A = this chain, B = another copy of it.
Amino acid sequence: MLSWVDGRPGDALALGDRGLAYGDGLFETIGVSHGRPRLLERHLHRLGQGCARLALELDLELLRAEVLVFCAQLGEGVAKLIITRGDGPRGYAPPLPAQPRRILQGAAAALYPSAHGERGVRLYPCATRLAEQPLLAGLKHLNRLEQVLARGEWQDGQHAEGLLRDQAGRVIEGVYSNLFLVKDGQLLTAELSRCGVAGVMRAELMMRASQIGVALQVRDLAYSELLEADEVLLCNSQYGVWPVVALQTHRWPVGPLTRKLQAIARDLLDA
Give min CB distance, A233 to chain B, whole Å.
Answer: 20
A229 at interface, CB cutoff 8 A: no
Q: Within the oligomer, what is the number of copies of this chain?
A: 2
Which of B19, B92, B148 contacts A176, CB < 8 Å? B92
Most buried by B among A5, A10, A146: A146
A110 at interface, CB cutoff 8 A: yes
User: Contacts A15-B12, A20-B20, A143-B143 hold; do A110 and B92 have CB atoms under 8 A apart?
Assistant: no
A11 at interface, CB cutoff 8 A: yes
- Please, which residues of chain B bring their CB within 8 A of the CB of A195? 131
Rounded to whole angstroms, the CA-CA distance of A20 and B133 in the bound complex is 21
> Scoring A residues 8 to 36 as 1 if CB is less than 8 Å from chain B, else 0, what string do you get?
00111111111111111001010000000
- Please, which residues of chain B bring their CB within 8 A of the CB of A21? 27, 82, 142, 144
Number of interface residues of A (CB under 8 A): 59
Give min CB distance, A148 to chain B, whole Å.
Answer: 5
Closest 10 CB pairs of A and B: A23-B23, A143-B143, A131-B131, A12-B12, A131-B133, A22-B144, A92-B151, A92-B147, A13-B13, A94-B152
> Told that A20-B103, A133-B167 touch, could you supply 19 new A-B pairs with CB distance under 8 A?
A10-B15, A11-B15, A15-B103, A19-B20, A20-B84, A21-B82, A22-B144, A22-B147, A23-B144, A24-B144, A24-B148, A29-B90, A80-B90, A90-B107, A93-B152, A133-B146, A141-B145, A143-B143, A143-B144
